[in-house]
Amino acid sequence: MDRRSFLRVGAAGAATLLLPDWLATDPLVPLFRGDLGRPVRIRGQVRAAGRGVSGVAVSDGLQVVRTARDGTFEILSSHRRDFLRMSVPSGFRIPLNPTGTARFYQPIAPAPSGEMDAVFELERLEDSDENHAFFLLADIQTQDRQEMEWFHQQTVPDVRATHEALGRPQAFGMACGDIMYDDLPLFPDYEEGVSRMGVPFFQVVGNHDLDMDRPTNEGSTDTFSRHFGPPYYSFDRGAVHYVVLDDVFWHGTGYLGYLGADQLRWLENDLRHVESGRPVILAAHITILGSRHQREGREHPSPGISVANRRALYRLLEPYQAHILTGHTHEREHVFAAGTHEHVCGAVCGSWWSGPICPDGTPNGYAAYEIRGEEVTWRYKSTGLDFSHQLRVYPRGADPGAPDEIVANVWDWDPAWTVVWYEDGERKGEMVRRVGTDPLSEELHRGDDRPPRRTWVQPYLTSHLFYAPVSPGARAIWVEATDRFGRVYTGSPAASWP
C-alpha cells in the first residue's frame, strides 16, 4: 500500500465513523426510494445445440429466474440495470470472449419499445466437471509495462505448468481483484496473459481496478465492466456453486469494504436456488474479516481491509459449506468466522513486484484448488517453485527476540495443521506458534530505503510463524509440517536466505 492508498483508507475510515448504525448492520435497507427507471421486458432462451436448457439461473443483477423446460425465460427489469447474467450451469463449457475471459453476460440494451430479446448459447462438456480445479490469482497489480512483462514471464507459464502437473483437469482461473495498479489501459495486456494461460478466467474487481475519477460508487466499475462484464455474478461447476462479489465501495476520494443493498438482495435471490448443505465458494477482493487487527492488538478491523456489513453476508451463507476467497492484503492466512472459512490469498505480485515475497514472508504466488465432488482441497503455489515449497526454516538467532530458537514460516497454515521439529533424527515435539515478523521480510523490507522499488513496504506481523528451542549440539535439524489433508512438507534451517 503506497502513501496514496493509505490516505484513501484513512478517508474510508473517517467516512465509516459517520455511517449510521443501520447502514453498517442492515444493508438490505435501500438507501434511496426514487425513480426505479423505465421498465424493460426481457424475453430469451438458454440453449445448447439448438435445444433449450432448463433450470438455468438468469438474472438482471437483482431478480433471479430459472429457465423453463424449453430453456425460455422472462424478466421484467429496468433500464437502470446494467447486465443480463447467466449462471453457467454444471456440465457445460464456460463461454468465452476472444481473450479467454468468461462471457456469461449481455448488456441490457432494450429497443425503443422497452422490449429486449436475449439468447445464451451453451456447449455441453464431453467429460463430467464433478472433478475440477481452479487457480486463484490475487493482486496481480501491475502498474507499468515492466511489471506486466514480469507477470507474463513468471506467472503465466507457471499457471500453465501447474495445470499440466495436475493432469489437465477441467479448470478455470479467477483473478481476485487488483488486476491493475490504477493504470486501467493495461487491461488488454492482462487479457493477453489470460489467453496464454489456456483456461477460462473469471474476474473480481479490486480497489485498484476502479475509475477513480468518478465521484460516487456508481460508474466506478465502467472500465472493468467494458472488459469483463458485471462485477458480481455466479456460476456452477460440478457440485459447487461459485459466487463473485464486488465488496469495494468507492466514495469519491477513497474506498471501504461494503456490500450494497442491490448486491445482497441479488445474492439472497441467487442462493434461493442452491440446496442447503452444498459447497458455496465465494470470491471477493477486500478481506471480509481477516485477522490483522488481532495481530496488531486492535479490537476491530479497519474499514479499508474488512467488510463493514459482513454479518449480512454471513447470514446468507449459513446454510452452506462456505469458503470465502479474498486477497487485498498481500499475505496468506485462514480465518474462521460465523461458520465460514475465509482464505486470504498471497499476492501474485508479492510486495508489489519488489522482490520474491509478500510482507508476511509468503512467496509471490497463487492458490490452486482441486474439487472432487463436494470435497474441496487446496495448496498455495509459490511462483517458480514446486508444490513441496510450503515452509521456510530459519536458523537459531534469525529472530533476535528468540536467540536460542529456530523459526519456521508455514504460510498456508490453519488450525488443522501440525508443525513439529526433529534433532538428529529424533522427534522433539510440536513447535510453538507466535505472532512475529518473518526474518527474510525484515532483511528485505525493513528500513526507509528498502525494498528499492517500493520503499514504503514494511514487514507485517503474521501468525503463521513457529518456534522451537533447539539443542546447541544438534547437528541435523529439520521441521515437518503436515497439512489438513495429510500431506507432509519438510525443511531445514538455511544458512543464507531465501
Dump pLDDT digits (tens) for 226-235. 999 999 999 9
Do 63 and 7 sit in the same domain of this protein? no
Do 134 and 100 sit in the same domain of this protein? no
Q: Which of 64, 91, 122 is where one domain is finished? A: 122
Instruction: Report the number of distinct structural domains present in the chain.
Output: 3
Whether 215 is in a domain gets the answer: yes
CATH of the domain at 190: 3.60.21.10
3-state secondary structure of 313: helix
What pLDDT does 282 receive?
Answer: 99
Domain residues for the domain of 95 are: 39-122
CATH of the domain at 74: 2.60.40.10
State the Cα–Cα distance between residues 379 and 58, nearest whole angstrom. Answer: 33
What pLDDT does 20 receive?
Answer: 42
What pLDDT does 14 receive?
Answer: 38
Q: Which helix (H) or strand (E) holds 5?
A: helix 3-17
**52, β-bridge pairs:** 47
State the Cα–Cα distance between residues 176 and 345, nearest whole angstrom. Answer: 9
Residue 251 CB: number of other CB atoms within 10 A?
17
What pLDDT does 35 receive?
Answer: 43
256 contacts 249 by C-beta, under 8 angstroms: yes
| Sites in the chain below the pLDDT cut of 70 | 1-36, 495-498
What pLDDT does 37 receive?
Answer: 74
Query: How many degrees, rounded to 5, is the angle at CA 72 between CA 68 and CA 73?
Result: 85
Residue 131 CB: number of other CB atoms within 10 A?
16
What are 7-18's pLDDT values in tens digits? 333 333 433 334
Do 183 and 47 sit in the same domain of this protein? no
Q: Which of 122, 142, 177 is where one domain is finished? A: 122
- Backbone dihedral angles phi then psi of residue 188, each to the nearest 5 degrees: -60, -30
Whether 498 is in a domain gets the answer: no
Task: Please report, for residues 46, 88, 190, 329, the alpha-carbon distance to residue 102 in angstroms, rounded to integers and kept in the order given.
Answer: 16, 10, 14, 26
Whether 387 is in a domain gets the answer: no
pTM of the entire predicted model: 0.92
**Grid cell of 393 as nine digits:** 526454516
State the Cα–Cα distance between residues 381 and 283, nearest whole angstrom. Answer: 18
State the Cα–Cα distance between residues 137 and 194, nearest whole angstrom. Answer: 11
Task: Please report, for residues 139, 227, 233, 352, 494, the alpha-carbon distance to residue 203 in angstroms, rounded to integers and kept in the order given.
Answer: 11, 10, 10, 19, 38
Whether 281 is in a domain gets the answer: yes
What pLDDT does 30 receive?
Answer: 45
What pLDDT does 494 receive?
Answer: 80
State the Cα–Cα distance between residues 431 and 159, nearest whole angstrom. Answer: 33
What pLDDT does 4 receive?
Answer: 40
Do 107 and 224 sit in the same domain of this protein? no
What pLDDT does 36 receive?
Answer: 59
